[in-house]
Amino acid sequence: MLTNRSALFTIVAGLLAAALPASAWAGDFVDTRVTLLFSDDNILADAGETTPNSPSARLGAANSSNSQFYDNFNTKYSGFETLTNLVLYKQAPSYFEGLTTEAALALNLLVARERGTSSLDAVKIGDASSYLRLNYVPRSWSAKQGEGISLTGFPMSADRFRLGYAYKISWGGSSAFPTNESVPGAKLQVTKAINDDQIVYGFVGLKTTLILNDKIHEQETNYGFLAGAGVDFTRWLRWDISGGFFQKGVNPNTAVLGKPVDARGLSSELVFHFGAPVGRSVDFALYKNDPDLPTRFFKPESYPGGFAFTAAIEGSVLQQVLADPDEFGATTRQSAQAGALQLRAKWDYLRFNVLGLYRSLSFIQFNVPGLPPFQDFPGGTDLVAEKFIAVGADYYLRGLHLTPGIIGGVQIPASFTTESLGSNNPPESFLGTRTVVVRDQNQLTVLPSDADPKPIYSGKVTLRWDISDYFAAAGEFYVNYDWNRTTFRDSAAGVAQPVFEDPWIVGFNTLLQARF
C-alpha cells in the first residue's frame, strides 16, 4: 500500500504525464507559476514589535500584510504563490445532430511549504470546478457566435459558479454555505445572438451541500438556487443581472436553535467597453457564457496598440435571517450591500486604472454569517461601511521589456462601535465604548477606548522586467499610513489594553517568477 506522501506524488506525476502535449487533446495544458520571493512587510519593525508579527526580510511565502487593500481586486491569489493549474480537456460531437459533449478535469496544485505533518501540508491539491457539459445548437442557430443551450455539471466544486462580477464582492460560491463539505452544482444556460453585435443569455443553477443541524445533530441537505441574464445592447454596452437564494442550515444559538438561516440577494452590472473585449478575473473562467478553462491563466499582458477602454459599475443587495439580539427567541433579516467601480484604459503601452469599492460590514461578514456568528448587530451599534478609491498607471518600455508603475489610494475601513465587546460578562479591557475595525472577514482590530477609526493611505511603486517570454523579475515598494493598528499591552493596573502602534508601514516585495 502506498503511503500518503508517495500516493500524492504518484497522482501528481500521473496527471502531469497525462497532460503532456504528446498525448493531449486540444485544450489540455499544465499552467504553472513558480515564484521565488524576497520580502519584508515592514522594514520599520522587528519581530515581536507589531501585530501581526513582522519578521525581518526573508525568502519564502508572503504574509497577508504584504498585500494592500486595492490588491487582488479580481482574484483570490496574491500573485506571490507557486502554483499550477492542471487541466485535462476533451470536446467531441455526439451521435446526435447539433449536440456536443465536453468535459474538463481541472485541478489546482498549490505548493505551500517544505515541511509539515503530512504531504498534504506541503502540496495542496484542490478541484478547480471540473465540469461535464452538453451543448445543443439548433440547426438555425450559429455555434460560431456562441449560441446554444447548454447543461453544465460541476461534480466536485461549483465555487467558480458565482454571483456578482468583481471577485472582491462576488458571492454565492462554496463559502456561501457554512460547512466544510463539498458543494457540487449544475447550470442550464441559453445563449442567443440577436445580430452580430447583440447577444443575450440567461441561466438557472442549483447547488447542494450537507450542513449539520445542531438541533437534531444530523447532517441535512441544503440548497442554493441561482439565476441570471445578460444582454449586449450594442457592441460596446452590456448589462448583466443575477440573483440567488441559499439555505445556510439552522441557527445554532440557543435562543433560536433550529430556526432556518436563509439568504437571498440580487446583483447587477453595467459595462461600457471600447477597443477590446471585456476582461474577467481568472477565477471566473467558468462563470460567463461558455467554460473557458483552456485559456492560459498566467498569460502575460499583450499590447496590440491603439486605444481600449472599459468601465464597469456593479452593485449587490443581500439579506439573510439571523438571531435578533434585542428580542429573545426572535429572528430578523439583516441587509448587506456592496458596489464596485472599475475603469481601465490602455493607449499603446500606457495603462491607467481606477478602482472603487463599497462593502457594508454585514456584507463583509455575510459568509460567516454575521458578527457574532448567526446574530445581527444589536440596536444602537454604530456601523461604518468600507470604502476605498485607488488610482494607478504603468507604462511598458518595449525595448527594455520593463514596466514601471505606480498606484495609490485611500480607504475608510469598515468598523462598528458598541458599549461592550464579547460575552455578557466581558473582560475589563473590553468595558466602555469600543470601536472595532473590520479589515476583512473575521479580521478584527480593537481600538483604544473612545478612539475613532481613521482613513488608511497607501502608495506603491512597481517595476517588472520581462527577461524572456516566460521568465520575469518584479519588485514593489510600498508605504502605508494606518492609524488603526493596535496591539495589547498591560496597563499600570496589570490589565491588557489596546494601544496604538506606529502608523507608518514601509515594505517591499521582490520576486523571480517563471510562467509556463
pTM above 0.75, yes or no: yes
pLDDT for the residue numbered 106: 84
What's the DSSP call for residue 176? G
Residue 15 lies in a domain: no
d(Cα 42, Cα 447) in Å, to the nearest integer? 21
Q: For 60-101, what is the HEC assignment?
A: CCCCHHHCCCCCCCCCCCCCCCEEEEEEEEEEEECCCCCEEE
Residue 439: name the closest of 422, 456, 459 by CA.
456
Question: Cell numbers at residue 411, please?
Answer: 480607504
Report the SS3 class of residue 446: strand
pLDDT for the residue numbered 7: 47
d(Cα 256, Cα 253) in Å, to the nearest integer? 6
DSSP assignment string, 213-231: ETTTTEEEEEEEEEEEEEE
Residue 20 lies in a domain: no
- List C-alpha distances in Å: 192 to 145, 270, 273: 8, 19, 20
Residue 319 lies in a domain: yes
Give me the CATH number covering residue 487. Answer: 2.40.170.10
Residue 454 lies in a domain: yes
Total domains in the chain come to 1
d(Cα 386, Cα 438) in Å, to the nearest integer? 9
Report the SS3 class of residue 7: helix
pLDDT for the residue numbered 503: 94
Residue 21 lies in a domain: no
Residue 1 lies in a domain: no
Give, rounded to a whole angstrom, the gap between the first and last alpha carbons of the chain: 34
Residue tagged 500606457 (cell numbers): 350
Residue 17 lies in a domain: no
Query: In Å, how far from its chain's centre is CA 450?
Result: 34
Is the separation of the CB atoms in 388 and 360 below 8 Å? no
Residue 316: name the closest of 370, 369, 284, 268 by CA.
268
- List C-alpha distances in Å: 10 to 119, 127, 203: 12, 17, 39
pLDDT for the residue numbered 2: 39
Is the separation of the CB atoms in 435 and 452 below 8 Å? yes
d(Cα 35, Cα 61) in Å, to the nearest integer? 9
DSSP E strands: which ranges in 256-398?
260-274, 307-323, 331-347, 350-359, 382-384, 386-395
Is the separation of the CB atoms in 206 and 222 below 8 Å? no
Residue 361 lies in a domain: yes
- Give tens-digit pLDDT for 421-448: 555 555 555 556 789 999 999 999 999 8
Is the separation of the CB atoms in 485 and 52 below 8 Å? no
State the residue range of the domain holding 125: 26-515
pLDDT in tens, the chain (516 residues): 334 444 444 444 454 444 444 433 445 667 788 888 899 889 988 887 787 788 888 887 666 666 889 988 887 777 787 888 788 888 899 999 999 999 988 888 877 665 554 555 567 788 888 899 999 999 888 877 778 999 999 999 999 899 998 889 999 999 999 999 999 999 999 999 888 778 899 999 999 999 999 999 999 999 999 999 999 898 889 999 999 999 999 999 999 999 999 999 999 999 998 875 544 454 444 333 344 444 455 667 778 888 999 999 999 999 999 999 999 999 999 999 999 999 999 999 999 999 999 999 999 999 999 999 999 999 889 999 999 999 999 999 999 999 999 999 999 999 999 876 555 555 555 556 789 999 999 999 999 888 899 999 999 999 999 999 889 999 999 999 999 998 888 776 777 788 889 999 999 999 998 888
Is the separation of the CB atoms in 167 and 138 below 8 Å? no
**Could you tell me which residues come within 8 angstroms of residue 59 by beta carbon, excluding any fewer than 6 positions away?**
36, 37, 38
DSSP3 helix / strand / coil % (the chain, rounded to 5): 10, 50, 40
